[in-house]
Amino acid sequence: MKKYGLNAKQPIIGLMVFVLVIIWAIFLNSEASKLPMALFAGLMLGYVLTRSRFGFAGGIKRVFYRGEASLTNALLVMFAITAVVNIGIQWAAASKGALPAWQVTSETQSIIPGTQNVRMGNISTALGGFLFGIGMMLAGGCASGTLSDFGEGEGHSWIALPFFVLAAAPGQKLGYDLDQSAIGQIGIKAWMPQYIGYGGSIAVTLLIFLGLYYLTKKYENHKKEMGMYSDPKSDYLDFEKPINDNAKVIKFFSWETYHKFFVERWSFITGAIGISIAAIFILITTGKAWGVTTPFVSLDQKFLGLFGVTFTSPAFDETAEAMKGSLLVDGGTIRNIGLVLGAFLAFLMAGRFSMKFNFTKKDIFIYATGGLLMGLGSRCARGCNIGALYSSICNFSVHGYVFMFFLILGGMVGIKLFEGKVDLLPKYLVSDGVE
């Protein structure tokens, strides 16, 4: 490991942390059986995100700067896999009498999993998506990416995350107020199976993904013609690349084997499959789709409550249950903590964990602003790149596409406005490719 500048002691620390996580899981099980499942899902997500260097923000940023769409295409594969499985889960539930979440009026009625993410696509969705898109460019990651980066020791995330949480409750109130306004009543709320059936829904969804792939490929070809295309693996660090040693038989207990299992970078497609599995696991075990930022609202409420701030608006009905007790028995909070720990463990086992705080005071201001915009935007739209985009589209809510459009628009605006002004967004040099 020393050959690559990796820390040989960190895997031992990683094993110790893993043992502590198991002990914590046993304790959580004594509190509620659902909590270890939430922790496991979070660990899986964090580990996969880190091993594959996977991120939603990168799906926009990477294709713009590098001209190659490997991550963007992997995101589409992830969406497609999840949607195909989810349509089967929803159909099976409906065939047994389950109803969409908004039609359930009694606790005895079953809810079709994932329909909790079906919302109105309106001004709050558009504004939230736009603000979030700008914010994730300034902060260097989306909601899940900010958590995984936090676990990896990335300083920009350590600054952005507290401000992300701090803006979550105000964002929740802003979204509610917009929804209640006259302009907020204008929009579309549609769950595709209600209008075109389950078969039609998956067919249309996959056709949309195919269309997005075509547009992405066309943009990638445009970048190639301009001479601004980079090889998808050209950003791999030396120790992330496969070890090719065909001259000898590789023993199981060897550095080569350890490198393959814990250090070598996973492809984006591998990451896409792993995240799909984790998201489907969450839907099956909880009856709800994966979300990240609702627990941020309850955490913000707990924090602001220390200063005497009260929350009486119906905007906060969504977090009322979590606020009744400790957040350490809230499944969403445990899953987010698990995501951080999964990323932390991935870097420890690779011997590459380090705290990275090499930036200027100006950068700190930019990261904090990005966090604030993500907090406001995600809760204004009632979801981030996960809840309002991935989980909504893969559960066939039309409003997810509204969020996606404004998220991409916000991301591009963020790049254009701040390129060259913050270390995470270098100046885009047309003549020399990328910086």
User: Angle CA(66)–CA(50)–CA(117) in degrees, nearest 5?
Assistant: 90
The phi, psi pair for 106, rounded to 5°, reads -135, 150
Going by C-alpha positions, the residue among 345, 411, 377, 360 that lies closest to residue 140 is: 411
- Tell me how far the alpha carbon of residue 433 is from its chain's centroid: 29
Q: How far apart are CA 177 and CA 225, in angstroms?
A: 47
- Rounded to 10 degrees, what is the CA torsion of 33, 39, 40, 46? 170
**Residue 250 — very low, low, confident or very high, per pLDDT cuts 50/70/90?**
low
Partnered with residue 121 across adjacent β-strands are 188
Buried b (16+ CB within 10 A) or exposed e, 169-183: bbbbbbbbebbeeee
Angle between helices 331-350 and 294-305 (to 10 degrees): 100
Q: DSSP characters for 49-94? A: HHHHT--HHHHHHHHHHH---HHHHHHHHHHHHHHHHHHHHHHHHH
Range with lowest mean pLDDT among 186-200, 237-251, 393-407: 237-251
Q: What pLDDT, on the 0 to 100 scale, is given for residue 435? A: 36
Buried b (16+ CB within 10 A) or exposed e, 278-289: bbbbbbeebbbb
Q: What pLDDT, on the 0 to 100 scale, is given for residue 433? A: 41
Q: How far apart are CA 122 and CA 78, in angstroms?
A: 26
Q: Which residues contact 421 (CB under 8 A, 6 or more apart)?
A: 362, 366
Q: Is 162 exposed, middle or buried (0-12, 13-18, 19+ CB in 10 A)?
A: middle
Q: How far apart are CA 71 and CA 63, in angstroms?
A: 8
Residue 428 lies in a domain: no
Task: Answer for the pair 129, 404: CB distance below 8 angstroms, yes or no.
Answer: yes
Q: How many helices (H) and strands (E) does the chain have?
A: 16, 0
Q: pLDDT tens digits, residue range 195-236?
A: 999 999 999 999 999 999 999 999 999 999 988 899 999 999
Average pLDDT over residues 311-338: 95
Rg (CA), the chain: 22
Residue 123 lies in a domain: yes
Task: Answer for the pair 388, 324: CB distance below 8 angstroms, yes or no.
Answer: no
Q: pLDDT tens digits, residue range 342-361?
A: 999 999 999 999 999 988 89
Residue 432 lies in a domain: no
Residue 434 lies in a domain: no
Q: pLDDT tens digits, residue range 255-277?
A: 788 999 999 999 999 999 999 99
pTM to 2 decimal places: 0.94
Angle between helices 56-66 and 399-418 (to 10 degrees): 50
Task: Answer for the pair 51, 267: CB distance below 8 angstroms, yes or no.
Answer: no
Please determine, for residue 384, whether its predicted confidence score (pLDDT) is greater than 50.
yes
Q: Which residues contact 302 (CB under 8 A, 6 or more apart)?
A: 323, 327
Average pLDDT over residues 76-98: 97
| Distance, first Cα to last Cα, the chain | 30
Whole-number Cα distances in Å, 217 to 56, 71, 106, 268: 18, 12, 48, 16
Q: How far apart are CA 29 and CA 18, in angstroms?
A: 16
Q: How far apart are CA 325 and CA 431, in angstroms?
A: 57
Task: Answer for the pair 96, 290: CB distance below 8 angstroms, yes or no.
Answer: no
Please determine, for residue 246, whether its predicted confidence score (pLDDT) is greater than 80.
no
Q: State percent of the chain over pLDDT 70.
A: 96
Going by C-alpha positions, the residue among 319, 264, 332 that lies closest to residue 51 is: 264
**Residue 420 — very low, low, confident or very high, per pLDDT cuts 50/70/90?**
confident
Residue 315 lies in a domain: yes
Residue 143 lies in a domain: yes
Q: Is the Cα torsion angle 209, 213, 218, 222 positive or negative in sign?
A: positive
Question: Residue 267 corresponds to which tokens in the numbers above?
Answer: 């492809």
Average pLDDT over residues 396-410: 97
- Domain that includes residue 10, residue range: 2-418
Task: Answer for the pair 59, 358: CB distance below 8 angstroms, yes or no.
Answer: no
Going by C-alpha positions, the residue among 33, 98, 85, 150 that lies closest to residue 391 is: 85
Residue 430 lies in a domain: no
User: Domain tally for the chain?
Assistant: 1
Residue 268 lies in a domain: yes
